[in-house]
Structure 1
Amino acid sequence: MFLLFCFLSSCFLIFTTARFRRSSCQAATLPPGPPRLPIIGNIHQIGQNPHRSLADLSKTYGPIMSLKLGCLNSVVIGSPEAAREVLKTHDQILSGRKSTNSIRSINHHEASVAWLPPSSARWRLLRKLSASLMFSPQRIEATKALRMKKMQELVNFVSESSEREEAVDISRVSFITVLNIISNILFSVDFGSYDSKTSNEFQDTVIGTMEAAGKPDAADYFPFLGFLDLQGNRKSMKHCTERLFRVFRGFMDAKIALRNESTDVSNIDFLDSLLALTQGDESEIDSNDIEHLLLDMFAAGTDTTSSTVEWAMAELLKNPKRMAKAQAEIDSVVGQNGVVKETDISEMPYLQAVVKETLRLHPAVPLLLPREAEGDVEILGFTVPKDAQVLVNVWAIGRDPNVWENPTRFEPERFLGKEIDVKGKDCELTPFGAGRRICPGLPLAVKIVALMLASLLYSFDWKLPNGVVSEDLDMEETFGITLHKTNTLHAIPVKKRAIIL
């Protein structure tokens, strides 16, 4: 017995010593990071605006930084070089998803193109359907007339406000415009109305979904606390998404009921195409897949696009000379009594620079969606351990003084004559991500933002209400998955020319 005890003790000692050496070796190659408190680690240093607090920490600990957030190992990326390693060089091993507690509360991580791992067949199918049925060049071209129609409706509404000398809620009208574009592509109907409170409720629901998904949650750091829902994120997520799912189910039921009564195939929308795939014994998708795919389209397509338009208008109102420069370019391309068309945008390099500069300063998803390392991987000489959460702080990269001159100033001119773009090849400007996880809706989003911005600037001059001067314009932001302007932008339109109805 004594010899057996000695043998087992020796084995235990050898095992623990080897394990300690391995962990010590790994710890020695982990990215640097701030000191950690017992149990909570670095949670106290995150705050309500993680993109800002993490950017501040990176100034001390470098462009690749490790944090311990409760039980969660996290690595924060804060430079273009490190971002390129994550988004391109090691994209395959770092393209998993670290889903949040609120996302798991509705099982969205099991049926979402945004949250499923790319290694799964389900992700590949949903990604293919999104690309081919909604975001392919052919589909985007087919919906050009729809976008033009919705822009004219926007201009008409703003014109009526101008006649009454009323301030326009830029956040609301841009959201309704994008909402109706997306809802027509998906369901062939308008979801929003500029004169209806229902549109406000829909906007609040979508924003509530994004905030619940993105706000810091104790259960993400200590999974055993999930059932307590201390921040109320699970409750908020379930409430918001159930409202959306009820709307989706209503359209699905109506289309299924009419399927055998109509033979018209000239106006097939996204939902029609998806429902066709549910037919037969070997159907590729079911109604649950459709609900979650539609949730992705609404959450990712409406809120992010409309908030970018609002930030762009806010920056231009804060910089009147640059607004005048953008308007002069639009006037020179469109003429004095025309209508802005999508084909005009390619002839407006300054407007395109305005959009890029807005996305640099105000990326819609400032930390992108959290990635998960599917194995140990070396980034710039440091080890990112398996199962670690990887956050790419595109907000910090966009304001890095080592990358950008006058990084906090709104200067669209910095992009003139340069090839840098937002399509994922330039890692100093990747608001839509890059690699396999790049946002599939990027081509449509960029078209809508530029067209809406050009339409508002062509038809109207703009001024701030209540005697607010441009220098004092509030630019406070609220963090969720998307970055919103805390206080929505209101501006008074002044009609420049007759509006073509």
Structure 2
Amino acid sequence: MLNFLQFLGQHGNLLISSSLFLSVIVIFVVVLIRPSGKRKLILPPSPSKLPIIGNLHNIGRYPHRSLHVLAQRFGPLMLLRFGNCPVLVVSSADAAREIKKTHDLTFINGPKVSATQKLLYDYKDVSTAPYGEYWRQMRSICVLNLLSNKRVQSYRAIREEETVLAMEHIKRSCSSGLPVNLSELFPAITNNVICRIALGTKYSEDADRFKKLLNDFVELLGTTNIGDYLPWLAWVSHVNGFNAKADRVAKEFDEFLDGVIEEHMNRQNKHVNDQKDFVDVLLEIQRENAVGFPIETTSIKALILDMFAAGTDTTYTVMEWAMTELLRNPKAMKEIQNEVRKVYGGKSSISEDDLHNMHYLKAVIKETLRLHPPIPLLLPRICSKDVKIQGYDIMEGTQVFINAWAIGRDPSSWEKPEEFLPDRFLNSSIDFKGHHFELIPFGSGRRICPGIQLAMQLNEVFLANLVHKFDWSLPGGANDKDLDMTESFGLTIHKSSPLIATANQCSF
């Protein structure tokens, strides 16, 4: 016993140290092997990231193309980082279906973006307003008073009148031997139709100004502003001119819309019910408080801008790419002309009554939308709560981009996806109205674009008349394969260079 106490006295500190060390080891092992209260997340595949900026360097000038290339390596669900913000990129019909149908409410809202806030009256328009009562009321106003089937049909005379005027313009160019700048003609006719429907009059004298404004508008909305993802770099937008350009475009549109509203208020009492345009209806709803809560003038301007900008830009880009593809594919051009001329060749012009049996015409438009969706990444959405998509954990606050352009070229959904083949739709039930996720150029779910019918009616009647009345070729005998297919930059994708073609009038 004495020997033991002597040993303890001599080596006690060592024993205590050893015991403490062993205790720490035991505790560490227990903590390591004990099940954690948190489940390990299963995240989608990701490309490598750079410090601070994450994957912002992967976007490129044409984000839909850059992200498509990445998705071919990392899969149809891919997680990126834009600064500190997680970003989910969706590139397959199945994944899009799960987000836009199964979990539509989880992804119902869009992120807060500086350009959208500046240009769209602090999210007062239908496309960006938060989901809720305000959004429902504003969307209902637009649909009932402008975009319903009954309303769209009531504008038929306007569409047909403007089509006839455009054909006369082409005829004059044809007679003088001059080529036609279709990239100028398409926005002009679309602008005239939308202005007459929504604003009550044409603004032909301002056509060039509107085209420039619209181009700047969609370019700003399609630009990735680094300050939205790295707030401490927001100063860059001042240096590179982004903020100044956004302020200028917002100011010019606001001044134009103030003038429209003032003009309508001055002549409001002169209208009878069947002569009211969309602006008159909005002002009447505001005056009578018809939706149960006050509608501010900024809300009216936001709705007008929605109808004017979105209705013009996304409509004429379909015409532009359809004619571009037809000029590049003489066989398809011949097929659509044969269809139109065989049945309706004796008529002076094609009316909307004649469109129902033009199956190849409709197939051409579907194929154009497959290859050239007007907004290739659709409108971004944000995840409102943690959710599982195709086995992966998607966290609250994740931004979501659905690459409709990549989905339209997915070889698992389409045979020869890079080729323009309208025939693929002749015996197919696939449409573009949000039910078939292989083709969602206008989105899907609760926030699908409400103006599809209005846009398609104009596209169909105008394209039918173009190919019915004229034979088209490229100027100077240029080869169809030399046609420049470079895209513009922005939210909506147009041809970068003007589409100029020669028209030869046909006699029947």
What is the TM-score of this pair, normalised by structure 2? Answer: 0.90
User: In structure 1, how many angstroms separate the alpha carbons of the residues matched to 2:234 and 2:465?
Assistant: 46
3-state SS in 2 of match to 1:115 = coil
Q: Which residue of 2 aligns with 1:219?
A: 227
User: In structure 2, how many angstroms separate the alpha carbons of the residues matched to 1:466 and 1:99?
Assistant: 49
Q: Which residue of 2 aligns with 1:232?
A: 241
1:147-176 residue CA offsets vs partner (Å, 9 max, x unmatched): 110110111111111111111111111101
Distance 1:187 1:82, change over 3 A: same
Q: How does 1:208-357 map to 2 (within 5 A)?
A: 208-229=216-237, 230-260=239-269, 262=270, 264-280=272-288, 284-357=294-367
Runs of 4+ in 1 over 4 A off after TM superposition: 21-24, 280-283
* Structure whose alpha-carbon radius of gyration is higher: 2
Q: Specify the code of the residue in structure 2 equivalent to 1:309.
A: M
User: In structure 2, how many angstroms separate the alpha carbons of the residues matched to 1:94 and 1:53?
Assistant: 23
Distance 1:480 1:263, change over 3 A: closer
User: In structure 2, how many angstroms separate the alpha carbons of the residues matched to 1:158 and 1:146?
Assistant: 19
User: In structure 1, how many angstroms separate the alpha carbons of the residues matched to 2:250 and 2:458?
Assistant: 25
Q: Which residue of 1 aligns with 2:85?
A: 72
Contact 1:33 1:66 in 2 (8 A): yes
Q: Which residue of 2 aligns with 1:421?
A: 431
Q: Specify the code of the residue in structure 1 equivalent to 2:464.
A: A
Q: Note if 1:405 corresponds to 2:415.
A: yes
Q: Specify the code of the residue in structure 1 equivalent to 2:320.
A: E
User: In structure 2, how many angstroms separate the alpha carbons of the residues matched to 1:316 and 1:149?
Assistant: 25
- Residue 254 of structure 1 and its aligned partner are, at CA, apart by 1.6
Distance 1:442 1:280, change over 3 A: closer
Distance 1:168 1:251, change over 3 A: same
Contact 2:82 2:229 in 1 (8 A): yes
1:393-422 residue CA offsets vs partner (Å, 9 max, x unmatched): 000000111111111110001111111000
Distance 1:23 1:485, change over 3 A: farther
Moved more, 334-343 or 221-230: 221-230
User: In structure 2, how many angstroms separate the alpha carbons of the residues matched to 1:259 and 1:317?
Assistant: 46
Q: Which residue of 2 aligns with 1:96?
A: 109
- Residue 191 of structure 1 and its aligned partner are, at CA, apart by 1.7
- Residue 263 of structure 1 and its aligned partner are, at CA, apart by 5.3
Q: Specify the code of the residue in structure 1 equivalent to 2:390.
A: L
User: In structure 2, how many angstroms separate the alpha carbons of the residues matched to 1:211 and 1:339?
Assistant: 36
Q: Specify the code of the residue in structure 2 equivalent to 1:299.
A: A
Moved more, 403-412 or 239-248: 239-248
Q: Specify the code of the residue in structure 2 equivalent to 1:249.
A: D
3-state SS in 1 of match to 2:245 = helix
User: In structure 2, how many angstroms separate the alpha carbons of the residues matched to 1:348 and 1:217?
Assistant: 44
1:350-372 residue CA offsets vs partner (Å, 9 max, x unmatched): 11000000000000000000001
Q: Which residue of 1 aligns with 2:178?
A: 166
3-state SS in 1 of match to 2:503 = strand
Contact 1:212 1:234 in 2 (8 A): no
User: In structure 1, how many angstroms separate the alpha carbons of the residues matched to 2:353 and 2:54?
Assistant: 53
User: In structure 2, how many angstroms separate the alpha carbons of the residues matched to 1:106 and 1:433?
Assistant: 22
User: In structure 2, how many angstroms separate the alpha carbons of the residues matched to 1:493 and 1:416?
Assistant: 28
Contact 2:118 2:250 in 1 (8 A): no
User: In structure 2, how many angstroms separate the alpha carbons of the residues matched to 1:280 and 1:273?
Assistant: 11
**Unpaired segments of 5 or more residues in structure 2?**
1-27
- Residue 283 of structure 1 and its aligned partner are, at CA, apart by 5.5
Q: Which residue of 1 aligns with 2:71?
A: 58
Q: How does 1:29-68 map to 2 (within 5 A)?
A: 29-68=42-81
- Residue 446 of structure 1 and its aligned partner are, at CA, apart by 1.1
1:207 pairs with 212, 215, 222, which one? 215
1:82-127 residue CA offsets vs partner (Å, 9 max, x unmatched): 0001111100111110132211234634301111122x21111111
Q: Specify the code of the residue in structure 1 equivalent to 2:185.
A: V
Distance 1:217 1:171, change over 3 A: same
- Residue 248 of structure 1 and its aligned partner are, at CA, apart by 1.5
3-state SS in 1 of match to 2:476 = coil
Contact 1:98 1:371 in 2 (8 A): yes
- Residue 63 of structure 1 and its aligned partner are, at CA, apart by 0.5
1:333-381 residue CA offsets vs partner (Å, 9 max, x unmatched): 2123331111211101111000000000000000000001111111100
Query: How many pairs are equivalent?
Result: 474
User: In structure 1, how many angstroms separate the alpha carbons of the residues matched to 2:411 and 2:363?
Assistant: 19
User: In structure 2, how many angstroms separate the alpha carbons of the residues matched to 1:429 and 1:246?
Assistant: 38
Q: Note if 1:482 corresponds to 2:497.
A: no
Q: Note if 1:113 corresponds to 2:122.
A: no
**Unpaired segments of 5 or more residues in structure 1?**
1-12
3-state SS in 2 of match to 1:54 = helix
User: In structure 1, how many angstroms separate the alpha carbons of the residues matched to 2:334 and 2:191?
Assistant: 28
Give the alignment's Cα RMSD to 1 decimal: 2.0
1:295-323 residue CA offsets vs partner (Å, 9 max, x unmatched): 11122110111111010000000011110
Contact 1:213 1:233 in 2 (8 A): no
Contact 2:123 2:130 in 1 (8 A): no
1:25 pairs with 40, 45, 53, which one? 40
Contact 2:127 2:306 in 1 (8 A): yes
- Residue 287 of structure 1 and its aligned partner are, at CA, apart by 1.1
3-state SS in 1 of match to 2:475 = coil
Identical counterparts, % of pairs: 37
User: In structure 2, how many angstroms separate the alpha carbons of the residues matched to 1:354 and 1:271?
Assistant: 34
- Residue 46 of structure 1 and its aligned partner are, at CA, apart by 1.0
What is the TM-score of this pair, normalised by structure 1? Answer: 0.91
Distance 1:497 1:263, change over 3 A: same
Moved more, 450-459 or 214-223: 214-223
- Residue 225 of structure 1 and its aligned partner are, at CA, apart by 2.8
Contact 1:105 1:234 in 2 (8 A): no
- Residue 264 of structure 1 and its aligned partner are, at CA, apart by 2.9
Q: Specify the code of the residue in structure 1 equivalent to 2:220.
A: A
Contact 2:44 2:77 in 1 (8 A): yes
